Amino acid sequence: MNLLVLGAGYSGKAIALQFLSEAETVTGTTRSAEKAEVLRQRGLNAELFDGDIISPALAAVMARTTHLVQSIAPGRDGDPLMRPNSRPVAALMPNLQWVAYLSTVGVYGDHGGAWVDEDTPCKPVSARSVERVEAEQAWLAFGRDNSLPVSILRLSGIYGPGRNGLCNLADGTARRLVKPNQVFNRIRVEDIASATAFLSDRSLGGIFNITDHEPAPPQDVVAEAARLMGVAPPPETAFETAELSPMARSFYGENKRVSNRKIRDLGFTFGFPDYRISLAQLWQQGIWRG
């Protein structure tokens, strides 16, 4: 196996590290030389990629790639590998055997707190989620046209070491915003990595929700983090009166409970099925700062 992770950021790097022991080569891309050096220090190969220009070195990596994880968000022009003026993926990666595309549960849009699963029609609200749906469809079509398994991983709110409610409390940025009946799903970054490996090992294609078992009010997660740390939680703030960026406010415009039953029915086990178990592990093992 020769794995290429396009966009080896927080999730992409975790995925790359997950495959390090089993793959012949693991390469991640990033936009900066500094971040590329960080990847190399972790034992990964690294190449620069700005989402537009493919260097000769990256082209050589692509030519031998058998497994691809695409973690770069699309823009207005679409997925960086699926634009009309882009060289066809099949030509860039002639040895490709399996693809994972990292998407978001935001593609479902708002369902008023109801449960959704992979069969629920997408009705994205934000422009970024509309772009995700288009990218998903492009990758699924690529899989059909080339008889390749393409896994679409729809991720909920990502957190883990260095990015969690404990960190927010420690640096003074935690807030307990309260919007009645609002819930969110979450996912530990390590579970994203292990789910990707699970799907890859079985050469599975299709759409999969990669999310925890328990959609919960965001203020409850902050309170649990404070309890673990032995500190007073920040006061509750009504969502209607809170000062939020347009993007942050847009997240609260979507309310749904996302089911992960499909991948669990295939035999996958989440290491961190709910935020309580996850925060406790981060705190007790002292890895919450990353």
Dist CA 1 CA 26 (whole Å): 9
Q: Is 69 left (phi over 0), alpha (psi -120 to 50) or beta?
A: beta
Dist CA 2 CA 27 (whole Å): 8
Coil, strand or helix at 178: strand
Q: What is the pLDDT of residues 195-254, one digit of tens each?
A: 999 999 999 999 999 999 999 999 999 999 999 999 999 999 998 888 888 888 888 989
Question: Which residue numbers in the chain have pLDDT < 50?
Answer: none
Dist CA 143 CA 201 (whole Å): 17
Single out the residue of 128, 141, 3, 148 nearest to residue 61, CA to CA. Answer: 3
Q: What is the pLDDT of residues 115-125, one digit of tens each?
A: 999 999 999 98
Structure token pair of residue 129: 């989620």
How high is the pLDDT of residue 275?
A: 98
Average pLDDT, rounded, for the chain: 96
pTM comes to: 0.96
How high is the pLDDT of residue 267?
A: 98
How high is the pLDDT of residue 244?
A: 83
